Amino acid sequence: MKARVFNHGQVCLSLIFCLFLTSCNKDDFFEKEFLENPFQEPTTTGTVNSGEQGGSTSGTDAGTQGGVDGGVNGGTSGSTTGGSTTGGTDGSTTGGTDGSTTGGTDGSTTGGVTGGSTTGGTTGGSTGGTTGGSTGGSTGCSNNGHGNNMDGVDSSNPGNGQGGPNGSIDQSGNLDDEMKGCGTPVKEVFQQSNDTKKIDIVWVIDNSGSMADEQHALGVNFNAFIQDFIHRNVDFRMAITTTDTTSRNNGLMVSGSLEKLNSQAAQSNPTRFMDDFRNMVKVGTRGSGSEKGLEASEGFMNRYSQTFLRPEAYLAVVIISDEEDQSPKSPTEYTDYLKSFKSEAGLVKVYSIVDVNRTNSGNGIATGYERYAKASQSTAGVVGNIRDDFYHVLNSMGESLINLLDSFALADEPIQGTLKVKINGVEVNDYTYDSASHSIKFDQGSLPPVGAEIEVSYLK
């Protein structure tokens, strides 16, 4: 067995190296590049105000300045007592009023970086809200820029907080001048008239082979639609065409409908008026099997807009079909064309009585109703089921039109919380907004005087 021989020089060098290590300062050792010093004392500063900085400085470093106004101000800090590396489990009570989700169970590593909430403060503003803008705030709006929360404070109460530089509502509830990131600003101006509103109605009836029963039901139950028009002495006129757009039939008016189906005829002889309508809506079942109700509405306007339409009247296009529309252009192109005849786009409504249950599926015809429904929805019209009781369907549509007579119909649907109404430049609140028809109706006793200017502004 060989004995290990130690060199005296080697032993001396080893002892010198050990003595060097024991005298080395620990801070100098850990401050070498790429190393983190676990002995470093916590910093005494948290963040400033904004949700963009919040957690990473004050939470991770467990600062003492952030503290109580942390979560309240959208993630200013981690926690007064937050000594841990995540800014303190106690971040929920001291890191923010709503710290558990906004300021800080993780009170800082994530709490402040995202501004005290998932969306509240990155761009939601220096205040961000009591709950840090838990739904909105990051761009000033929610739901892809079309949400209900415009201020990052309380989702049920838009307008009671600042919402930051990109918010769209300030503390008074007014629309922000820039309205960035929330939608497109719209302003519509109306004038209160002494004249009764008028309604022009075009019936577009499917005349293909499967529609005999529906045409009969329309005629028999028409009273449910028109009775209030007659009782209230509404100034209306009606015309009838079909979904057959082949050749010369495109938009062709049923003979005599314009002359016999109007308010004057209804008032002078209601019984004859009802009989005339019942007979005229039986447009037959020999029309084209390629139903094009939207194309027919365009064809009708091309033929009769000069003689039928009244500029100040509502235009209601009522389409009745048990098959999907097969017109060549998009529904939006047809509704835009109809709106082009009006100075106020809200005066155009498309109503559809269609097969929403697809009961014709498998019969070799064009099932569906989505194109008609899109035209109705884009004009705040009504979609009815052709398989339901016609009396109730027609009654609902008639009431919808009647309700428009003392309302102001908007061209688009406002984002909730952004609607402002002024009469002669003075903001008012004595009105109701009907989301179904996109219309404003003033309360009784608060009607604008004749000649008054009604200005409506909103985001869409």
CB 87 within 8 A of CB 75: no
Does residue 413 share a domain with residue 397?
Answer: no
- The total domain count for the chain is 2
Distance CA(54)–CA(261), nearest Å, equals: 69
CB 115 within 8 A of CB 109: no
Domain contains 132 = no
The SS3 call for residue 248 is helix
Sheet holding 420-423, edge to edge: 185-191, 453-459, 420-423, 426-428
Does residue 399 share a domain with residue 413?
Answer: no
Tokens of 313: 């009247």
Does residue 325 share a domain with residue 425?
Answer: no
Does residue 389 share a domain with residue 418?
Answer: no
Domain contains 147 = no
Of 371, 387, 406, the last residue of a domain is 406
Sheet holding 408-409, edge to edge: 408-409, 439-442, 431-434
Does residue 330 share a domain with residue 450?
Answer: no
Q: What is the pTM of this model?
A: 0.61
CB 72 within 8 A of CB 84: no
Does residue 354 share a domain with residue 341?
Answer: yes
pLDDT value at residue 100: 39
Q: Which amino acid is at 270?
A: P
Does residue 429 share a domain with residue 364?
Answer: no
Q: Which residues contact 355 (CB under 8 A, 6 or more apart)?
A: 321, 322, 323, 367, 368, 369, 385, 386, 387
Q: What does each C-alpha distance from 293 to 13, 178, 327 come to in angstroms?
A: 100, 41, 7
Does residue 222 share a domain with residue 329?
Answer: yes
Q: What is the pLDDT of residues 295-305, one digit of tens each?
A: 999 999 999 99
pLDDT value at residue 445: 81
Domain contains 212 = yes
pLDDT value at residue 95: 40
Distance CA(55)–CA(197), nearest Å, equals: 59
Cβ-based neighbour number of residue 336 at 10 Å? 14
Does residue 367 share a domain with residue 317?
Answer: yes
* Element holding 276 (H helix, E strand): helix 270-280
Q: What does each C-alpha distance from 314 to 221, 223, 403, 409 come to in angstroms?
A: 23, 20, 12, 10
CB 291 within 8 A of CB 321: yes
Does residue 416 share a domain with residue 331?
Answer: no
- State the 10-residue block means of pLDDT for the chain, 460 residues long: 47 48 44 39 39 36 36 36 37 39 38 37 37 37 38 33 32 43 87 85 96 95 94 95 95 96 96 96 95 98 96 96 96 98 95 92 78 96 95 94 90 93 94 92 87 94
CB 308 within 8 A of CB 200: yes
The SS3 call for residue 10 is helix
Domain contains 85 = no
Domain contains 226 = yes
Does residue 398 share a domain with residue 321?
Answer: yes
Helices (H), 409-455: none
CB 137 within 8 A of CB 167: yes
Find the CATH number of the domain harbouring 362: 3.40.50.410
Domain contains 26 = no
pLDDT value at residue 14: 55
pLDDT value at residue 196: 75
Does residue 400 share a domain with residue 260?
Answer: yes
Domain contains 149 = no
Q: Which domain holds residue 387?
A: 198-406
CB 243 within 8 A of CB 252: no
The residue written with tokens 């005087």 in the block is 449
Q: What is the pLDDT of residues 71-87, one digit of tens each?
A: 333 333 333 333 333 33
pLDDT value at residue 181: 55
pLDDT value at residue 315: 97
Can you list the pairs that 426-435 forms with residues at least 24 positions away whose Cβ atoms lie under 8 Å? 434/403, 434/407
The residue written with tokens 């841990």 in the block is 84
Distance CA(151)–CA(157), nearest Å, equals: 9
Q: What is the pLDDT of residues 17-71, one digit of tens each?
A: 444 444 444 444 333 333 344 444 444 343 334 333 333 333 333 333 433 333 3
Domain contains 29 = no
